[in-house]
Structure 1
Amino acid sequence: MLDIKWIRENPQALDEALNKRGADPESAKLLALDEARRQHLTKLQEAQERRNAASKEIGKAMASGDKELAEKLKAEVSELKSFVQDGEAEERRHDAALNDALARIPNVPLDDVPVGADESGNVEVRKHGEPKRANWAKEHFEIGEALGQMDFERAAKLSGSRFTVLSGQLARLERALGQFMLDLHTLEHGYTEVQPPLLVRDDAMFGTGQLPKFTEDLFRAGDDHWLIPTAEVSLTNLVREEILDGEKLPLRFTALTPCFRSEAGSAGRDTRGMLRQHQFYKVELVSITDAESAIDEHERMTACAETVLKKLDLPFRTMVLCTGDMGFGARKTYDLEVWLPGQNAYREISSCSVCGDFQGRRMNARYRVAGEKQTRFVHTLNGSGTAVGRALIAVLENYQNEDGSVTIPSALKPYMGGLEKIEAVED
């Protein structure tokens, strides 16, 4: 959520930022709501001050024997009391209207983010590894089905479309990928492993920006909870409504969890295979920082995610997203796109974003700086370190052999009991 004071002082800057994102200007609407609220608060304050003054005047009138004036003042105090009580309810309505409007405004991009309308405006910043493609290369679902360990038909019987049943060594390979990533981030990159709840309340979803704007992309679980679309929600909200010691920042959390998404906006896209699933595993990275460290932390987090792909020896490229392709809460985002020989294309496998104090305001999460009376809102970052299902896809396609088997990457062999390759299940 953006600071209304900043908007009040920089309305043109807000509208220019929204224009870069391809959104309509909003400053006039927000300032009108803010002005109505401030005018109402002024009236309330004046009424309360007059009520206090009149109450004192009643005592003076009684002391001087002027009962008529005293009664008149009592009537005025009673009227002012009713006005203040009704006005407090009106104040809550003004607050709700302004906060609801602010909650739907996306974050302001950093100045160095390229301006563009969609993914065609994204810019490559570096590339690792050499993409290769044999003329016999197959897509991951062809490989998995031929191995007899990836079943979409049975998954559809259980749950419908966009679900997968993995079995045997493919199930173990997915588990190995998740464990490998967790070990890397905790042992080498300094993240603290967390096992967070998969069900969260409305205020947690609001805190990271999923609500109210993206309700249709979520799965509701009963009246009071939602299934997390990413562990970013649980991990970032660990600090909600807290005041942290600035000297102990940054805090770095990681988690391997199932994630649940309706994929409401992707009808007709990637309908075959595991690329877009309603349920998938992901290793999430979250950092809570002060204002001064956030940009450097963004580069560090992205490097941590890149290390996963480097150790798996998977070709990839790092893209900076343009303004029209960035997420709602991000100020700047790097996407890692892994090479998939079966598709003969790069596809996203990780997205790392710096959010400024956008989520900190929504969560009311602050930190205290030594020597300062005022607290500041924390700055937050999140990234995939990486999407486990998509990493499985990348391994299958990059390590496939012409005979249909799949070689195990060296980094994963300790997690696979020393297994060298996955071969078809015999009937």
Structure 2
Amino acid sequence: MTERRIGLIEFGKALNNSVSVPGLGELPGGQVSAGRATRGARARLIRFDRVVADNLRLGIVVRKKFFSSDVEPVTEAGFLKDVFVVTGRDDLGNGDALELYSDDTALPDTSRQVGLAQVHAPAFDEITGVRLQVHQHSGVLREGSLVGLLRGGRGGGLPMRVLRLLGPVGPVPELRAGQPGTVLLGFQCEVPPMPGDALACFHEPEQEYLEQREGIAVVHGLNPLPDGSVVAAVEVPEQVKSNQITVGSMVRVLRPAGTTFNERSTVVATGLRVTSLSRNNVMVPSARGTGVFTVGLTRGDVREGDTIEVHVPAPGTPGAGQPLAPPPPLAPPGPPSRELPVPQAAPGPVVDLNTAPPPELARLPGMTPQRVAAAIELRTRQGGFADVEAFGVAIGLQPHEIVRLRGKVTTSRIQHHGGGVRQLDI
């Protein structure tokens, strides 16, 4: 199974920033801004465009009852719904986001066990889910620790997060060897715990962040190259607030599915890199903002309608600092040909969008009679177009159609039709 993005929760957008729940304290509130929030889903914490934590779990999800301060548990919350969650992180705040996903193949590393707790008495309630009375046998167990349930020395189910830790008199930050306590696991357990089970705690390396998210763009047109790479015409949506594409950055390809109310996507390719970047027919090393770009990618695992997600791995993570692969070597020259060279056709004349008559505009790619008529009307009314992008947007061209016009058109200076001030006779 490959990774499927199933939802996004953004904090700071909910009607209430938090809610108080007995036994849990203050829970942060967020709004489901894409897809759906499913209890038990895996999650990444994104803060200031950085992935600062991965393999979190939506262990508890509640919402407020209508016209009441009470809460009720939910297994799923849809688009634009407010939810209050417990993930094992106690620092969720405004501006943070939880990217929800499922992936049964790329599991967290559980090869290094650093602690073990013996389970004595499991319990369950409909709000907080599973809680275990344990005795810490070795190592240290902390809130947010990555843990797994062991039965007969074997693991069962996905790794989980410690959502809360309770000592004899209330919440505690950790349990050390020899200490008893209560571990809250919520609704993460795929195998019901039993007395005699053990809870293993696993090592996780400490890192400031895992990757920097530079931006996203939607693919509108493709030009495959003989070496297997591809040049794509992409558009950065206007609603994307911060966006940057840089030559050398890594790319993963997301293929969308579903509707606005159940939006989701599948990661169909990873490990691609940006090999070239141009804007307005000018090659640039990096570009910010929204609009249309032309991007070179190392592989062609992409098709129209896909979304590319540009990111830079943090130092020390897989893929960080890897140089771009060198271009394929040129083929050695063959013996000289005895055939006469075939004359190459000269490039067609460049069409001036601000002066060309309708027949010349009609010969341009993508120009239907309706678009030609609209272009002539707008040109007459406003005196011309500032550039090819302004021309395309004005007459309703798609981003990949605008890209096809580059190199074939130009825009002379706009002639503004000034008008004098007319005095009215009263």
Q: Which has the higher helix share?
A: 1
Q: TM-score, normalised by structure 2?
A: 0.18
Larger radius of gyration: 2
Q: TM-score, normalised by structure 1?
A: 0.18
Q: Which has the higher strand share?
A: 2
Q: Tell me which of the two structures has the higher relative contact order, counting C-alpha pairs closer than 8 angstroms and 6 or more residues apart.
A: 1
